[in-house]
Amino acid sequence: MKTEALIGAALLAVASEAVPTVDTTYPYTGPEVPVGDWVDPTVNGNGKGFPRLVEAPAVKPATANPTNNVNVIALAYVPQGMNIHYQTPFGLGVAPSVKWGTSASALTNTATGATHSYDRTPPCSMVAAVTQCSQFFHEVQLTNLKPDTTYYYQIPAANGTTQSEILSFTTARAAGDAKPFTVAVLNDMGYTNAQGTFKQLNQAVNDGAAFAWHGGDISYADDFYSGLLACQDDWPVCYNGTSTEVPTGDYPEGYNTPLPAGEKPNQGSWNGGDISVIYESNWDLWQQWIQNMTSKIPYMVLPGNHEAACAEFDGPGNVLTAYLNGDKANSTAPKAELTYFSCPPSQRNYTAYQHRFRMPGQETGGVGNMWYSFDYGLAHFVSMNGETDYAMSPESPFIKDTKGVAKEPLANQTYITDSGPFGKIDNNDYNNTKAYQQYQWLAKDLAAVDRTKTPWVFVMSHRPMYSSEVSAYQAHIREAFEALLLQNNVDAYFSGHIHWYERMWPMGRNGTIDKGSVVNNKTYTTNPGVSMTHIVNGMAGNIESHSTLDPKKGVLPITAVLDQTHYGFSKLVVHNASVVTWQFVLGNGSGIGDELTLIKKANSSGSGSGSPTTKNGVAGQQAPLAFTVVSALLMAAWYLV
């Protein structure tokens, strides 16, 4: 590894709760910088006119050849305040700061914070474009702010950067504030196929969305090698070099630039990766793409599987094993041998994710960007980690690789996506979810909710508990958390991971459909302690395209609505203490793909319990239909599009 050089000013502090640190017991033996373009493996492109996509930085530099620049600005809530996160390729030489005030013409206050960094591979010193690289991450918090108040802020120039424009944000409403609000909920958003979603999201921000809530799989940086692997069976659209035409999809104009003579169609730009053919550049470009939103409203994130490491699996011929383990491009290996140590150290164990965002775990008893909660008006929002830190989690800690016997696994006992634990596990009892800090925190957090102030409680993790696409991880996350969420009267559980939109009927434990809480096909009532609404919201769009249901398996009776063809995001509108609505906003601009109204059960304070079969509806609403599993299935069929 020769990428440890951190150019610029000294690190001031490490503000991230990035635990545990990356393990380097075994050496990394791959290329210095893995580039998913074997025609030109340099980080800056081939110089022949073939464009690697660029995205405008958050701050337009004042000079033609800047030596440093603020490329990303991202907001996130902290209790009674806001964390202003910004990114530069090089250090600032001073503590990061923000000028702020309640008037754009009087930024009379200055807040300072701390900087953290990591061994980005490649380091920004190797990237020619200063405005397309981030390696230093600055956190400045404004606290003790008034709720529901607009503040103005400006990031001053330092060590070659240009000062930002005067920007603004509005603080969260106090818990109990009864005014309606809208949240943009999205999951699984890369760049390819997400252009329509991006447009509609920006519209939602302009229309006054309070914040965005992105439930994991953020940027698809780890698909940098997509042009090198053959398509997977479950990728309906894929880039495997078989055509010089851009496949059907939703692309920015730059993707249509013809390849220069001599370049192979499966390598570089639109033929590989999501935005870039380099893991870290995918992150940079994606963050710069969405910074028009993240600099205006809080962008709350939680971890998905795509944030874990530089890659997830090998393809036919085991070309990634040859490349990442043996530094052999355009080659094959006898068997797949990707391990935790196959990625450069900076691309393991959620490192990029830990640095590129700053969520309020520390302030809410959680852990960093991994699990945390916050209030807004009449709702309590909980971001969970569905990837690590519970029994049988999809990504494993080392202690599981060794069955808890040895302290450190051998390299070949590890998996490329091994990660965590990010919290403690009592007595290393990794098969017992209740021994995990995440579970203990969640139990405490939910128990502490004051339902008289925040009658609505919404929980999201990346992994669904249910879907018509059945998978073992769903049983594992149900086993870990479903009972706890039901006991604490959670109203709805949102997820992604599966790249489609799927709304389930309200369900209790083990997929029991709560027929009594179905008012009609677009209206449910809550049923505290008995059932909750489950929605898979993984359709924002990314290079892996949509998921498709195996036609032989069919839609299960648990599913009310399944849309396998449209991209978009969802708007959660909290109207008052009794009614919320959920709308699937189609990315193609043609309107609403699905709509659900969720009504608080009459006379419910959120702390009671009821029977799944005795519910009689809510005053003013149509009485519940006598749904059966068969009729539910028929309804699902009507809604298949």
Positions in the binding site for Fe ion (CB under 5 A): 217, 304-305, 497
In terms of Cα–Cα distance, which of 175, 254, 76 is closest to 454?
175
Strands 492-495, 456-460: pairing kind: parallel
Nearer to Fe ion, 139 or 217 (CB): 217
Q: Please state the closest distance from residue 463 (CB atom) to Fe ion, in A.
A: 8
What element of type H or E holds 476?
helix 472-477
Nearer to Fe ion, 119 or 387 (CB): 387
Nearer to Fe ion, 497 or 615 (CB): 497
Nearer to Fe ion, 43 or 536 (CB): 536
Nearer to Fe ion, 131 or 474 (CB): 474
Angle between helices 279-294 and 195-206 (to 10 degrees): 30
Q: Please state the closest distance from residue 460 (CB atom) to Fe ion, in A.
A: 13
- What is the rounded distance in angstroms from the CA atom of residue 194 to the CA atom of residue 176? 35
Q: Please state the closest distance from residue 583 (CB atom) to Fe ion, in A.
A: 23
Q: Collapsing DSSP states into helix, strand and coil, what is residue 98? A: strand
Nearer to Fe ion, 55 or 223 (CB): 223
Q: Please state the closest distance from residue 499 (CB atom) to Fe ion, in A.
A: 8
**Cis preceding linkage at 122, omega within 30:** yes
Q: Please state the closest distance from residue 216 (CB atom) to Fe ion, in A.
A: 6
Q: Please state the closest distance from residue 188 (CB atom) to Fe ion, in A.
A: 6
**Cis preceding linkage at 421, omega within 30:** yes
Task: Please answer whether residues 93 and 9 qualify as being in contact, where contact means their C-beta atoms are separated by less than 8 angstroms.
Answer: yes
Q: Please state the closest distance from residue 68 (CB atom) to Fe ion, in A.
A: 34
Name the residue whose CB lies closest to Fe ion: 497
Q: What is the length of the chain?
A: 641
Sort 148 into a burial class: Cβ within 10 Å, 0-12 / 13-18 / 19+. middle
Q: Given the structure tokens 């302030």, which residue do they identify?
A: 363
Nearer to Fe ion, 90 or 279 (CB): 279
Q: Which two tokens stand for residue 483?
A: 């009972």
Nearer to Fe ion, 306 or 601 (CB): 306
Task: Please answer whether residues 446 and 490 qualify as being in contact, where contact means their C-beta atoms are separated by less than 8 angstroms.
Answer: yes
Q: Please state the closest distance from residue 538 (CB atom) to Fe ion, in A.
A: 7
Q: Please state the closest distance from residue 215 (CB atom) to Fe ion, in A.
A: 9
Q: Please state the closest distance from residue 641 (CB atom) to Fe ion, in A.
A: 23
For residue 381, list its beta bridge partners.
374, 458
Nearer to Fe ion, 101 or 236 (CB): 236
Task: Please answer whether residues 132 and 281 qualify as being in contact, where contact means their C-beta atoms are separated by less than 8 angstroms.
Answer: yes
Task: Sheet with 114-117: list strands edge to edge.
Answer: 72-78, 81-88, 136-142, 114-117
Task: Give the rounded distance of the alpha carbon of 458 from its chain centre.
Answer: 16
- What is the rounded distance in angstroms from the CA atom of residue 573 to the CA atom of residue 209? 9
Q: Please state the closest distance from residue 461 (CB atom) to Fe ion, in A.
A: 11
Q: Which two tokens stand for residue 620?
A: 């003013």
CA distance readout (Å), 35 to 41, 50, 582: 5, 16, 41
Nearer to Fe ion, 301 or 518 (CB): 301
Task: Please answer whether residues 248 and 238 qualify as being in contact, where contact means their C-beta atoms are separated by less than 8 angstroms.
Answer: no
Q: Exposed e or buried b for every residue in 45-72, given b needs 16+ CB within 10 A?
A: bbeeebebbbbebbbebeeeebebbbbb
Nearer to Fe ion, 40 or 222 (CB): 222
